[in-house]
Chain A
Amino acid sequence: MADGWRRRRLSHPPSVIRCRLRGELVSRSPIISVRGVVNRFGSQVVHDGVDLDVYAGEVLGIVGGSGSGKSVLLRTMLGLHRPNAGQVYVEEQDITTMPETELLKVKRRYGVTFQHGALFSSLTVAENVQLPIREYFAASPAALEQLTQLRLRMVGLPLDAAGKLPSQLSGGMVKRAALARALALDPTLLFLDEPTAGLDPISAAAFDDLILYLQRGLHLTVVMITHDLDTIVKTCDRVAVLVDRKIVVDTLDGIMRNDHPWIAECVHGPRARAVQTAGGSR
């Protein structure tokens, strides 16, 4: 079993690249490698041989049209969905063939926020944040209280939000509370599904800043699905575009020069121009 994945691993050696991250030239090996993933639902092929590497400490944006399989790809990387073919390596371990108990251990190192927050509606914000900690560790109530406070401070929520139910929060606060819960176990990997969808521009910009701030402070690796061009310009080191059941990964500049019709329309269309002329530079 273990030899199996090692052999397969060798046939696809990790592509060590030299990439510009935060201005410094560094060599990194990928923390997540997606190799030849195929996802089919009935006769509909969503992914047909998708390769993707996520490097430690980067912010990777996944972009694509509606129905292009962004969420499916994210779920595949999270181990929530087994692909029809292909492998997903998280730190050199193939999670697609991993037994369920091993997979749970890997999942514990992820923080995930879902598109609509997915906060448990019958629990308060504090209980939502504490749930994973309670589940795994025997922390005393006092420590739980302290850790909750830290998470709330980290995501910039007022401390009196702790006692509120998700239904009493505004959209922006729900996103922040979801982020606080995602950070509950001090993950090194953060997956965000449309973090700024449904937020007003000012809240969205504040949320982008928050993600960057936490990413730098905690040295997180962030993979996010987003439709928001502002978010991509501001936060992403590299962009992965899902087109024609394949993936194109490049830096934002590279994507801008790509001449695929959908990508060109996406980054040079009227909406994109508005963002660029508004001075989205990094």
Chain B
Amino acid sequence: MLLEPETTADALVLRLRGVWRIDNIAAIEAVLGGLELEGHARVRIDCSAIEALDLSAVWLLQRRIEQAQANGADVEFVGRVPEHFAFIREIVERGAEGAPSQPAPRTLTDFVVWVGRMSVLQIQQARRALIFLGRTVITALGALRSLHRLRLASITRHVYETGIQAIPIVALIAFLISVIVAYLGAQQLRQFGAEIFTVDLVAIAVLRELGVLLTAIIVAGRSGSAFAAEIGVMRLNDEIDALQSMGIDHFETLVLPRMIGLVIALPLLTIVADFMGLAGGALLSALLLDISLSQFIPRVQDALAPTTFWAGLIKAPVFAVVIAMVGCYRGLQVRSSSRELGRLTTVAVVQSIFLVIFVDAVFAVVFVELDF
């Protein structure tokens, strides 16, 4: 019981009692909400029986009293007034700038404005991405002229981190996927009595598409996110500003080594994936189709055109450039908050995977046209 109302001849007397503290905030709200101060000429408030009081409760009470006073009620305190009220008055008198911001109601114009803003934003984004691409190319051309500017130590580190450390997962996934493809192929082709073509299917699918595509997707998830996060954190710590203030080009020190490192690592990873894919195909052929290794290898050699392997491998450096560029670009976009960092890392991964698949589709069309 926080409040005891009592109606006397000329006034409503409210005796406050109990704990008026933030711990009791729900009860206080309920009591204040149910209070009918209006309709009484005089309201007297007696605080002498309150056990504990804090500023939050006083603030809510004060607000309610002010509301009643605005409606014409005559509210007064009787007995000792807790000093909290004086402090609240002091705080209010000190004043506060600005009004509490209210979300404006949405209208049709807002929608049009939103569309316009998003369009401009997209154009700006495209422009910035192009500038980034251009700057990277120029820096790369400049850096290729001298060994010092290539930063071999940094490139080596990135080859190690993005390439060598990724070998186990890339190998495992390539092996498993080719097992799946071989299994499906064997089941379907058996209906035509053409099980032997399973070998062709696995060899061509792995070497042309699956090996490189899966590797690129894994690397985009592993290294694309790492690039964005690393560079983003450097951005948050002002490390990039520090580099620039020393006159060191951050494209040359951060972007280029990552890109070159990945351009070296991704084709090598692709070769690992191709090998493991074929191994998976060979294993399943031996188990499921009774095609031994000594039959499998000549069959693969027959199935493959001289260009098949290269048609897959040639895409790897392009994918590497795409992944490195997207990761670094998004990392450099991080500004001032850790939320940005998380968001842009996600964007980097999603975008690089999308772009890898998109570029792969373009390659497929081009290769068909070229009869490659």
Contact = CB atoms under 8 A, between A and B. Distances in A.
B97 A138 contact: no
B68 to A, nearest CB: 16
Contacts of A159: 96-101
Contact of A186 (B21, B97, B100, B336): B21
Nearest to B32: A143
Interface stretch (A76-84, A144-152, A270-278): A144-152
Interface residues of B, number: 29
Contacts of B100: 145, 149, 159-160, 162
B94 A186 contact: no
Is the contact region of chain A dominated by helix, strand, or loop, or is it mixed?
A: helix
B25 interface: yes
A161 B96 CA distance: 11
Interface string A187-208: 0000000000000000000000
A163 B55 contact: no
Given A158-B98, A160-B100, A218-B55, A153 B25 contact: no
Interface stretch (B56-64, B124-132, B185-193, B277-285): B56-64
B249 to A, nearest CB: 27
Is the contact region of chain B dominated by helix, strand, or loop, or is it mixed?
A: helix
Interface string B97-127: 1111100000000000000000000000000
Nearest to A154: B91
A154 B55 CA distance: 10
B45 to A, nearest CB: 19
A122 interface: yes
B96 A156 contact: yes
Given A150-B59, A185-B22, A162 B338 contact: no
Interface in A64-121: 121
Nearest to A142: B29
Contacts of B94: 153, 156
Contact of A153 (B96, B335, B337): B96
Contacts of B92: 153
B23 A137 contact: yes
Interface of A: 121-122, 133, 136-140, 143, 145-147, 149-150, 152-154, 156-163, 165-167, 185-186, 217-218
24 contacts: A122-B337, A122-B339, A133-B25, A139-B25, A140-B26, A143-B29, A145-B100, A146-B63, A147-B60, A153-B92, A153-B94, A156-B96, A158-B98, A159-B100, A160-B97, A160-B99, A162-B100, A166-B337, A185-B22, A186-B21, A186-B56, A217-B87, A218-B55, A218-B87
